Structures are given as C-alpha cells and as structure tokens.
Amino acid sequence: MATDFDAYERDLWAGRASAYERGFARLTRHTAGPLLDAAGVTGGTRLLEVGVGSGVVAAEAVRRGAHITALDADPEMAATARRNVPGLDVHVAVLPETPFPDASFDAVVGNFVINHVGDPHTALKELRRVLRPTGRLALTCWEMPGSGALGLVREALDAAGVPWPDDLPTPPFMEYGRAEPFRALVADAGFADAAVDPVTWHHTVDPEEWWELGALARVGANGVVVGRQTPETVARVKAEYDRLSRRYATPDGGIALPAHALLAHATR
C-alpha cells in the first residue's frame, strides 16, 4: 500500500534522472563493488537490483558476468539505466511490489534505495520472497543524521536560518539509519545472519558543481527546500554553503566531502 511518503518520493524524483546521474550517482558509485561483494555476485549469479537509478551497480554486475534484472520506480531512471547498460532488463515498479515469482533470484541488491521506501519492513519481506533459499541480500543506506556530502546543503540552510518545511514527510530511515536499527530491521523481516558494516569514503567534486546538483537541481529534500526560497534567501544560503565548504577544500580548488553509509547483508 502506498504511503504519503511514497507519493512524496514519486513527485520528488520525477524529471530528476539527468541531474541525479550527473551528481548523486557519482557519489554513490563508491559502494557498488562492496555491495555486490556482500551479495556474493559473480559470473552466472541471477541478480535483482532494486532502484537501479542510472545503472552504476548494474554495469558492474554485468562486468562480473551476472544475469541481472533491475527495477526502478521512476520511468526516466529506468530509461537512463537502459541507455547506460545496453540490453539491461529493467522493469518499472514501486517497492514493496515486484513483478517476479517466488525464489527467482540468487541475490538481491539495492544501492541507497531502501531509505526511499515508505514501508521498508514490507519491502524487505518482498525482497526475501523473490530470493531462493540461501540467497543473499545486500543493501546500502545513508548513516543518519546525514553529514558531509549528504548534509552540507542542509547545514547551509540551517546556518542561513531557513526553517524546515512542516509539509515534508519524515523519511522512515531517520529511525533506521544507524547500524543496530538497520540490522534489526533486516532480521525482523525474516533474514538470517543479518549484519551491518560501516562504509566511509571521500567524494571529491567541484564545489560549484555540487551546489548546482545538490541544491539548485532540486534533487532530494534539500534541493526542494532551496527551490522554494526567494532569490535573496538562496543567495544567503549559498554564502553559508561557500563558508561551510571551505573546511573540505582540496589544493586543486575542489572539495573532498566525507560520506558515511551503512551496508546491510543477510541470507534468505
């Protein structure tokens, strides 16, 4: 059953595939290898990727020789993945619904998608259903509260005195975005040997590009809030962003933003 959060997510991401591909997809590609390793993906693995996005994880799975099926809730994202991974079998579907029979896959992975689902417990039960016995699950999410790469624009909004809108729904993963709650969520859905590992890296990017793709392009909730402001307020937020980003400055004029994620893995 769709929730208010699910409806919000569909509206949030509609028309954002290009901006996502140029921005956050480059941030999240760091976890593609660890995610597939945790799921035991090798040549011949029957793999389902949920939330395929621009196809970064799918491309790596194809390189490994996996037989991959993918789904995404956004038709434009699905089209982007097909363009980037020729021949990719992509379905448009919104978790917790999937169009597959029981025990269809050896492994299921999702790179920063479970945190965009209104009912993550039901979604996990559905992912367990489509896994064969002893099949592997691997999912990443952001560690909460967000910081560095995930939180820089939000910090600038706060520093500029911009209140967070009351009408934006609270993501369920504000509750689960820590190691033990995430592990317990996976275990409660019926998975065995559930464990969560921290994954930390630095995302090096031009600060003006990150402002454009993380704030002005309306990607994610921070971008939505920036997009609601007057030009004068946006200028004030940008000034705070410039000030705060200096702590991450690199010698070549870029910024190296720390990224903090969690990688859950378990067995059917």
Q: What confidence score (pLDDT) does residue 166 get?
A: 87
Side-chain-facing half-sphere of 170: CA atoms under 13 Å: 8
Q: Are 89 and 58 in contact (CB under 8 A)?
A: no
Range of the domain at 131: 4-267
Residue 167 host element (H or E): none
- Sign for the CA dihedral angle at 65, 67, 71, 76 comes to positive
Contacts of 166 (CB under 8 A, 6+ apart): none
- Sign for the CA dihedral angle at 99, 102, 104, 105 comes to positive
Cis peptide before 96 (omega within 30 of 0): yes
> Using 50, 70 and 90 to split pLDDT, how confident is the model at 3?
low
The pLDDT tens digits for 211-266 are 988 788 777 788 889 989 999 999 999 999 999 999 999 999 999 999 999 999 99
**Both tokens of residue 254?**
């870029």
The pLDDT tens digits for 76-117 are 999 999 999 999 999 999 999 999 999 999 999 999 999 999
First to last CA, the chain: 24
Task: Out of 54-58, 148-152, 166-170, 222-226, give the one with best mean pLDDT.
Answer: 54-58
Q: What confidence score (pLDDT) does residue 221 get?
A: 84
CA–CA distance, 265 with 196 (Å, rounded to integer): 6
- Residue 138 main-chain phi, psi, to 5 deg: -145, 130
The pLDDT tens digits for 37-46 are 999 999 999 9
Burial of 244 per CB tally in 10 Å (0-12, 13-18, 19+): middle
Q: How many domains does the chain have?
A: 1
Mean residue pLDDT across the chain? 93
Average pLDDT over residues 59-65: 97
pLDDT at 1 over 50: no
Average pLDDT over residues 16-38: 91
178 vs 174, higher pLDDT:
178
Instruction: Please state, for a pLDDT cut of 90, what percent of the chain lies above it.
Output: 77
Q: Are 235 and 156 in contact (CB under 8 A)?
A: no
Cα–Cα separations (whole angstroms), residue 101 to 98, 127, 128, 130: 9, 11, 11, 6
Q: What confidence score (pLDDT) does residue 22 get?
A: 85
Domain CATH number, residue 206? 3.40.50.150
Range name among 17-26, 117-126, 131-140 with the lowest pLDDT average:
17-26
Is the full-model pTM beyond 0.85?
A: yes
CA–CA distance, 32 with 41 (Å, rounded to integer): 11
